[in-house]
Amino acid sequence: MVTTKAKTKEYIDRDKACVNQVLSRLAPVVAERGEGSYLYDVDGNKYLDMTTGIGVTNIGHCHPRVVEAVREQAGELIHTSVTTYHRKYIETCEKLQEISPGRLDSVFLANSGAECVEGAIKLAKYVTNRPGIINFLGSFHGRTHMCMALTTSKLYYKDMMEPLPPAIYTAPFPYVFRSMTPDNPEAVVDETFRQLDVLFNQFINPKQVAAFIVEPILGEGGYVVPPDSFLPRLRALADKHGIMLIIDEVQSGFGRTGKMFAIEHLDVEADIMTMAKGIADGMPLSAFVSRKELTDKWPAGRHGTTFGGNPVACAAALASIAVIEEENLAERATKLGEEMMTALRKLAESRPHIGEVRGRGLMIGLEFCDKDGKPSKEWTDKVVARCLENNMLILSCGQAGQVVRLIPPLTLSDSEAEKALEILEIATRD
């Protein structure tokens, strides 16, 4: 149990006095140190971290190989930007080229998820010379103006921010559990494509659409896994009209779902793929990858960045990806994810307020419902608070905040997974 909180209170008071309070913090914990699956606060309390800083520290906090790579690189070269080439930038791009599925062989390094989404959209617009973008309901792509415009997981993120970039049209994401036909997933996918037909017939000519942008699994929108037929059908529709398919793997990449990238579960190729979060175990780095045949049409200097591909972040990425590969952490995510979801589905049998347990690998969502089956934020909030009382950090997501998401490190041990399940058993009691 959490004991003292004296220093925590002091720091939170100081935070209030100096930090722009638009930055919401999800738990009243002042972290001091991280190691593996645990965070330690300034009062010495220890927390099992099932958030990994929102899906970032995929190989655990302060993995020794990442720490070593960062230390070594920081002593050698911290920054040059585009004033010179540098070795770690090139090695990171070679590695991303190697692990990116399909024919994606041209890499641009940036700093954050939003920044790589911006780059992907700019590339798609430039190479197609078309203005329109189609996104999907429940999506989250970031906080910049373009990314806000593309985000539909909650109005809250873009309320009062109009005008936003125009020519964005939204189609329904096949969210089977909350659909009109929850027992017929294919009918839900059919409905998405019927609505895309409506868009193309009544809102925008498909020849004016540069790109579809889609998350392979909705992240912030509720950890929603679409039926397997959705993305192949979207790929076919994109091909029919010469539309770029942008797959946003910012949250689902780097072993999280049981493959290096979630799209690899399906026989689908992206034209452009975005990645960030789990790329460098916590160092700020992101990338968008595409095909050289496309990026060669984009003249040098049309896009750029000062900090993107910083040598220290690249060194961390190379170390982190090596650990994911050498320790077979994607397979570990599949195995542990299946075990945890099986246990959670069993738990849900005695918890009528857990409407669905879903996910892929270690991207696991529990959707909470009220007595009428409606989305219940009340339940989610209660579970998050009870987990915190039991020294475990979890996050919520979903349009109404009705989903608990579990995003542990892929290095979570069997006993840590058991401990997490025990805490969830307590936290979900009526």
Catalog residues that contact ligand PLP under the rule CB under 6 A: 54, 112-114, 117, 140-142, 215, 219-220, 248, 250-251, 276
Cα–Cα distance measured from residue 321 to residue 165, given in angstroms and rounded to the nearest whole number: 35
- E strands along 172-257, which residues? 209-214, 244-248
- Residue number closest to ligand PLP, CB atom: 113
d(CA 354, CA 347): 9
Shortest distance, position 112 Cβ to ligand PLP, whole Å:
4
Closer CB to ligand PLP, residue 283 or residue 427? Answer: 283
Nearest approach, Cβ of 141 to ligand PLP (angstroms)? 5
| Cα 267 from Cα 102, distance rounded (Å) | 10
Name the residue type at position 39: L
**Please, what is the minimum distance in Å from the beta carbon of residue 219 to ligand PLP?**
4
Report the nearest approach of ligand PLP to the CB of residue 91 (Å). Answer: 23
CB of 51 to ligand PLP, least distance (A): 12
Q: Which lies closer to ligand PLP via its Cβ, residue 26 or residue 236? A: 26
- Closest CB to ligand PLP among residues 140, 175: 140
What is the rounded distance in angstroms from the CA atom of residue 115 to the CA atom of residue 277?
Answer: 12
DSSP character string of 234-263 = HHHHHHHHT-EEEEE-TTTTTTTTSSSSGG
Min separation Cβ 56 and ligand PLP, Å: 9
User: Could you tell me the smallest distance in angstroms from the CB atom of residue 162 to ligand PLP?
Assistant: 20
**Residue 18: φ, ψ to 5°:** -130, -20
Burial 314-345 (b: 16+ CB within 10 A, else e): bbbbbbbbebbeeeebbebbbebbeebbebbe
Residue 142 backbone class (left: φ over 0; alpha: ψ -120 to 50; beta: rest): left
CA–CA distance, 417 with 415 (Å, rounded to integer): 5
Token duo for residue 287: 């990338």
| C-beta of 140 vs 261, nearer to ligand PLP | 140
Shortest Å distance, C-beta 144 to ligand PLP = 8
Query: What's the closest the beta carbon of residue 248 comes to ligand PLP, in angstroms?
Result: 5
Residue closer to ligand PLP (CB basis): 140 or 200: 140
Q: Is 11 helix (H, G, I), strand (E, B) or coil?
A: helix
The 3-class secondary structure across 357-415, one letter per residue, is EEEECCEEEEEEECCCCCECHHHHHHHHHHHHHCCEECEEECCCCCEEEECCCCCCCHH
Nearest residue (CB) to ligand PLP, 217 versus 319: 217
Nearest distance from C-beta of residue 183 to ligand PLP, angstroms: 28
Contact 367, 341 (CB under 8 A): no
Residues composing the chain: 430
Give whichever of 256 and 353 is closer to ligand PLP, judged by the CB atom: 256
Amino acid at 21: Q
Q: Which is nearer to ligand PLP, 348 or 363 (CB)?
A: 363
Of 30 and 276, CB closest to ligand PLP:
276
Between 8 and 251, name the residue whose CB sits nearer to ligand PLP. 251
Cis peptide, bond prior to residue 163, ω within 30 of zero: yes
